[in-house]
Structure 1
Amino acid sequence: MATVQEEIKNFVQRATIATNSQEAVTEYFLSKQQDRNIKKYPEWDKPRVYPALEVVRAHCELAKTEERLRAKWAEQEKKRKFMDEQWNEMRRQELVLRESFIKFNRFVRENQEKRDRADTKIKEEHDRQARRLEEIKELEEKLHYMNDVRDRMKKHVAEYKKYQDYLDKVIIETGEFNSISEIFNRYETLIEARSILSEHQDKNLELLEEKGTEMHHMTESKSQKIMTLNNKLAQLQARRDKAEVQARKWETIVAEIKVIAAEKNLEHTQVKTCCWNLYQQICKRKEIPVTVSKDDVEQQLDYIKRTILELKRILKVAKKHATK
């Protein structure tokens, strides 16, 4: 602490700063006034600086610094010992806490396991109780159902007692049956025979319906075929009538053509005869022999044409001479 106080003394003390603005301004002007009033001495009044003084001053400062350093080391050693003691104490407390934590953890784990086992047993017991309650409920329902069945059976027995008495009376009076079971067997046999006969009858009715349906379909198909054939027959008759009309028409046309052909043939024969006669007359007048055959009408007409042209030229020449 002494070294710290010495270090504080070595620091330059600064003036305290006033918080009031007026006081601060006043102090500022006072300091300026004091600076003006300070007496300035000439430089020769200052002590001179010698190297020996500087060395002495440096040795003094070094000694003071070493002394402060030794004090710091001593203080650091005390602090280190104190910290080591605290650290050892903390380690000891840590070990104690760790052991206590391990014991507590073991205790908690054991308690948790015991609690889990207890919860498991409680849950199993609850499940067992629930199953037993369900079984009791089912048994009660079954008991109630069986009681209902018993009551219904008693009721049915009471209702059908008269039928049993009647069947016993039938056995006694008829003498055909020895017990009620024989009556039931006979009844079942008759019912079975009835069912067989009804099935056979149903099959026959179904077969009859199928045959009727087939006959109806066949009748419809045949009637449709007959209608189709009638339509075709009507079409063929119409075509035949039309063909007969066309045949009569063409027969008439052929007859007319034959008449025209006969007329044309007669006319052709007459023309050929005329051409032949005219050709013979021309040849006779010219006194030339007949060289063209009777059937070669084209040559005859050609010769007649040349003759007519010659006559026209002669007639034209004669007219010219007559006019002169």
Structure 2
Amino acid sequence: MAHIHLDDYFRVIFEEGILNVPVNRQNLRTSAMRFLEKRQELDHADASLQSKRNEFEVVREKIRERREKLNKNEEKAKEALLKFDRFIKDNDAKRSRGVKKAELQKAVVAQKEKELEDLKKEYSILLSKRDQLSNRVTRATVYHVFLTTLMKMSKKFEDITHLIGRFDTLLATRDQLLEQGKGAETHAERQHVELRRYVSEQSSVLLQLNNTLSKLQTELDTILAQACKLENTWNNIQSTAAKETLLLGQVKFGILNLYHVVGAETGEEDGVQVEDSVNQLEKIHVFIQDLTDISCGVSL
């Protein structure tokens, strides 16, 4: 398409040049030659460009093939890397299992060695016990001989077992008696503790009673002192009352005498009672008032 447009362009330019430029055959020939030269240069440039395009296509195809090859190599490398990674992981797992197995075997060996040492110690202890039992049997032979001789000397026992049974019975009886004695001692100790507790409680009660008695005695002394004071006060009151009663009697007697002096009567219907000193004083007051009024009238 670029080649066609270029031809059209030159054709238009050429036609315009022919139309606008005066016809000159020499110039026309020169222009045609230049046009042909330019046309040849253009064709040469197109051929060179096409060659470059072909070379570029070849290079691009090679690059594409190389890229595909590189992609394949990359895939192969990835697969190889994955295989190598799996190989490493498998080796690590095998090594870990081997280490664990070795550690387990080592622990089992250590456990077996410990068990062997324990068995050796137990065997040594059993040998020691066997020797001790053998020595005890040797020492007990003397007692067997003694019991045999004792059974032969005594007619009460049929064999050594019967003799040992009798001895065990006596030991059991002794233990029972000792236990009963301990029980009696425990009971006596308990009774003694109870007695001490009772004495302590009664002492506390007695102390409280003594304190209460002391308080009551103090209160009694206080009450007696107050009673003595009240008795003295009562005696004083009685003495004062007797004096005041005597004085009151004298006053009443004087009022009664004055009442009689003024000529008033007692004990009658119009009179005043002997004990009514107030009315007697009123009568005396009225008499004195009348006497005063009369005296004032006489003076006038």
- Same fold, TM-score > 0.5, yes or no: yes
Greater shift after overlay, 255-264 or 192-201? 255-264
Map residues 33-112 of structure 1 onto 2, 5 A cutoff: 55-56=35-36, 58-76=38-56, 79=59
**Are 1:149 and 2:166 an aligned pair?**
no
Query: In the alignment, what sits opposite 1:166?
Result: 146
Deviation of 1:209 (Å): 1.1
Q: Secondary structure at the match of 2:137?
A: helix
Letter of the aligned partner of 1:283 in structure 2? G
Q: Secondary structure at the match of 2:263?
A: helix
Map residues 169-318 of structure 1 onto 2, 5 A cutoff: 169-283=149-263, 291-308=271-288
Task: Provide the C-alpha distance between the structure 1 equivalents of 2:186 and 2:215, rounded to a whole number of angstroms.
Answer: 43
Q: Secondary structure at the match of 2:140?
A: helix
TM-score (norm 2): 0.64
Task: Provide the C-alpha distance between the structure 1 equivalents of 2:119 and 2:77, rounded to a whole number of angstroms.
Answer: 61
Deviations 1:113-169 (A, max 9, x none): 999999999889877766765565454444333322222222222233222222222
* C-alpha contact (below 8 Å) 1:283/1:290 kept by paired residues: no
Task: Provide the C-alpha distance between the structure 2 equivalents of 1:247 and 1:113, rounded to a whole number of angstroms.
Answer: 116
- Percent identity over paired residues: 25
Distance of aligned partners of 1:283 and 1:75 in 2 relative to their CA distance in 1, 3 Å threshold: same
* C-alpha contact (below 8 Å) 1:276/1:294 kept by paired residues: yes
Q: Which has the higher contact order (CA 8 A, sep 6+)?
A: 1
Distance of aligned partners of 1:227 and 1:135 in 2 relative to their CA distance in 1, 3 Å threshold: closer
Letter of the aligned partner of 2:151 in structure 1? I
TM-score (norm 1): 0.60
Task: Provide the C-alpha distance between the structure 2 equivalents of 1:75 and 1:84, rounded to a whole number of angstroms.
Answer: 14
Task: Provide the C-alpha distance between the structure 2 equivalents of 1:141 and 1:112, rounded to a whole number of angstroms.
Answer: 43
Q: Secondary structure at the match of 1:239?
A: helix
Deviation of 1:236 (Å): 2.8
Task: Provide the C-alpha distance between the structure 2 equivalents of 1:107 and 1:61, rounded to a whole number of angstroms.
Answer: 66
Deviation of 1:275 (Å): 0.9
Deviations 1:269-322 (A, max 9, x none): 2222211221221237xxxx97433332112223333544566677789999xx
Query: In the alignment, what sits opposite 1:10?
Result: none
Unaligned runs of 5+ in 2: 1-26
Number of aligned residues? 268
Unaligned runs of 5+ in 1: 1-46
